[in-house]
Amino acid sequence: MPGRHFLQIPGPTNVPDRILRAMDRPVPDHRGPELPALVAEVVAGLRQVFQTARGEIVLFPASGTGAWEATIVNTLNPGDHVLAFNIGHFSHMFADVARRYGAQVDELDLPWDQGVPASLVGDRLAADKSHTYKAVLLVHNETSTGVTSDARAIREAIDATGHPALLLVDTVSSFGSIDFRFDDWGIDVALTGTQKGLMLPPGMAVLCVGPRALARAEQVTTPRYFFDWRPVIAEMQRGYFPYTPPTLMLYGLREAVRMLQEEGLPQVLARHLRLAEGVRRAVKAWGLQVLCKNPTEYSNTLTAVRMPEGTDSEAVLEAAETHFQLSLGTGLGRLRGRVFRIGHLGALNELEVLATVAGVEMALALAGVRVPMGAGVAACQKFLMESFLARITKG
Ligand code: PLP
């Protein structure tokens, strides 16, 4: 089919030409003189996006799953008690990594259309008088449901109890797209991958590690080699790595942080909010429902849309892919067939969102869901136009 393919899954996201061009170069000597300046710029740029001055940046050739594993092996011993929340497919898997390494995970089963209530975290930790919990696991933006938990409120709830548990946060689908403040919110470890808000291909795991987690890693006896972050931090401070790094990805990463800096982080976050709201207006105009129950927890990087009774979201995905070159996110785990997910993160603008909404609308109709043709596009366009006009009037 002519024209471009629309990759509107909630990551991997579309890689801008500028990043592809930055990566299209000869492979450098990873022990050579080019590396230190490259690594320093990447680290400084990532620190800005994590909004941290005190966090150590750690890079591994891996994905979000590798970032989970790196976080767990460096902060937990077998037998350590961990508090986790099952609010979707990914939060359950994060807890599972800790369990596989022998942690005693209290994984609280919560509804899959809501975030983690800060009060629940506070209550659990307040009840843990002898401080057996060593860590709290949180997925900031649950990609399977399109729900963003209030990490700041959770931090405050932990602080109110005076509990010393580490707060380990998955920012895989929020980093560089939804506000996340490593220092202000007292995060101990934040982890992400390159393939979503960073607009790169999949391939690298990015961690930001705070002082308490660094200290914990010195006490932890869990066997680790590749994912031991200590030699990585030591080498990265010199501008190198203890393994052969994916050097071309580093050039792409440098370009990505430059792009985020040029647009400005507040503007990047505002763009994600705007585009997400445009999509939500479309869902409403179709007469369908966003899975996320609480509007204050709506995700600005993806929207999970509930299917009407008796219809199957897999049919929407198939129609979109086959007829319109549009990839949408499938329903994961227990949501299979019941929701589809529209990714609206990374390198994305108004017209691309409108085209996506138009494609979804046609795919829904082909999958037997009665939607008034054009209603979603019109609602989305109206909102995007109003917010554009508000911006230029203000500017
Ligand atoms: N955490 C979240 C929130 C995710 O969305 C994903 C993947 O989409 C992962 C972890 C796992 O990351 P990966 O698939 O890059 O290994």
142, β-bridge pairs? 147
Task: Give the pLDDT of residue 346.
Answer: 98
Residue 301: CB within 6 Å of ligand 1?
A: no
For residue 90, the CA-to-ligand 1 centroid distance in Å is 7
Task: Give the pLDDT of residue 230.
Answer: 98
Residue 175: CB within 6 Å of ligand 1?
A: no
CATH number for the domain whose boundaries are 6-12+265-394:
3.90.1150.10
What phi, psi does 218 have (nearest 5°)?
A: -70, -25
Residue of the nearest CA to atom 5 in ligand 1? 143
Residue 193: CB within 6 Å of ligand 1?
A: yes
Residue 173: CB within 6 Å of ligand 1?
A: yes
Specify the ligand 1 atom closest to the Cα of 142. Answer: 3
Closest to 380 measured CA to CA, from 260, 269, 277: 277
Task: Give the pLDDT of residue 292.
Answer: 98
**Which residue out of 7, 87, 91, 173 has the highest number of ligand 1 atoms within 8 Å of its CB and is therefore the one to mutate?**
173
Specify the ligand 1 atom closest to the Cα of 193. Answer: 15
Task: Give the pLDDT of residue 55.
Answer: 98
b/e map of 81-92 (b: 16 or more CB within 10 Å)? Answer: bbbbbbbbbbbb
Closest to 328 measured CA to CA, from 300, 304, 298: 304
Contacts of 9 (CB under 8 A, 6+ apart): 327, 328, 329, 341, 343
Task: Give the pLDDT of residue 1.
Answer: 87
The answer to whether the pTM exceeds 0.85 is: yes
Task: Give the pLDDT of residue 384.
Answer: 98
Exposed, middle or buried by CB within 10 Å (0-12, 13-18, 19+), for 266? exposed
Q: Where are the beta strands (DSSP E) in the chain?
A: 6-8, 56-61, 81-86, 104-109, 133-139, 141-142, 147-148, 166-170, 189-193, 204-209, 289-290, 302-306, 326-328, 339-343
d(CA 117, CA 120): 5
d(CA 357, CA 65): 30
Cis peptide preceding 12, ω within 30 of 0: yes
DSSP 112: T
Residue 143: CB within 6 Å of ligand 1?
A: yes
Task: Give the pLDDT of residue 112.
Answer: 98
Q: What is the pLDDT of residues 210-261, one digit of tens each?
A: 999 999 999 999 999 999 999 999 999 999 999 999 999 999 999 999 999 9
Q: Where in the chain is the domain with CATH 3.40.640.10?
A: 17-262
Q: Which structure tokens are listed for 226?
A: 């590749």
DSSP 183: T
pLDDT < 70 positions in the chain: none
Q: Are 74 and 197 in contact (CB under 8 A)?
A: no
As a dihedral over the C-alpha atoms of residue 232, residue 64, residue 155, residue 189, rounded to 10 degrees, the angle is -10
Give DSSP secondary structure letters for 280-330: HHHHHHTT-EES---GGGB-SSEEEEEPPTT--HHHHHHHHHHHH-EEEBP
Q: Are 375 and 344 in contact (CB under 8 A)?
A: no
Q: What is the pLDDT of residues 86-113, one digit of tens each?
A: 999 999 999 999 999 999 999 999 999 9
Residue 90: CB within 6 Å of ligand 1?
A: yes
CA 185-346-239 angle, to 5 degrees, is 65
Contacts of 369 (CB under 8 A, 6+ apart): 286, 288, 307, 308, 311, 316
Contacts of 261 (CB under 8 A, 6+ apart): 45, 48
Q: Where in the chain is the domain with CATH 3.90.1150.10?
A: 6-12+265-394
Task: Give the pLDDT of residue 394.
Answer: 84
CATH number for the domain whose boundaries are 17-262:
3.40.640.10
Q: Which structure tokens are listed for 343?
A: 């990714």
Q: Which structure tokens are listed for 298?
A: 């709506």
For residue 36, the CA-to-ligand 1 centroid distance in Å is 29
For residue 381, the CA-to-ligand 1 centroid distance in Å is 31
Task: Give the pLDDT of residue 103.
Answer: 98
Task: Give the pLDDT of residue 74.
Answer: 98
Residue 11: CB within 6 Å of ligand 1?
A: yes
